Amino acid sequence: MPMPFTYRHASEEWRRYLKNLRERTLIDSDNVLYTATEGLFRAFRARVPPDQVLAFGDELPAVLRAILVWRWDIAAPLRPWCPRAGIDAEIRALRPDHNFAPAGIIDDLVWAIRQETRQIDLDRVLMRMGPEAQALWAPVADQTNSSTRS
């Protein structure tokens, strides 16, 4: 079997993800975009059983998949779902002294991550999850600068 595309082109896929997110949010810092991405994945995996998180990860490009599972305590008890604004607050609370992600970043992250997946496959995996997970990852409008709106 040949090497999977996502392994051979991991850096290009990651750079494209950052570029798309940067253009959508007007956030120039890769560090802010990375931290926000990690925050979303941490909030998601804290509420979903590990087997479902891993199935979700199988649909992500290599670098996003690695961020999804990095330093994950799979034995931690699952947390209850909260409103979307609560997830957004959790994202922004990761590394609070250095995290400058604006409120509403969650919609930009979901949009950008979905751009990097085969959406039919991602949706197939999400259909096996609860309605809260499906709602979190529901498609977001292709609107530039959504997190910078007032």
Which tens digit of pLDDT belongs to each residue from 17-66? 999 999 999 999 999 999 999 999 999 999 999 999 999 999 999 999 99
Which tens digit of pLDDT belongs to each residue from 107-137? 999 999 999 999 999 999 999 999 999 999 9
> What range defines the domain where residue 31 resides?
5-72+80-148
End-to-end CA distance of the chain: 50
Could you give the 3-state DSSP secondary structure of residue 118?
Answer: coil
pTM above 0.75, yes or no: yes
The total domain count for the chain is 1
Looking at residue 52, which CATH number applies to its domain?
1.10.490.110
Question: Of the candidates 97, 96, 91, which has an alpha carbon nearest to the alpha carbon of residue 41?
Answer: 91
Q: What is the CA radius of gyration of the chain?
A: 15
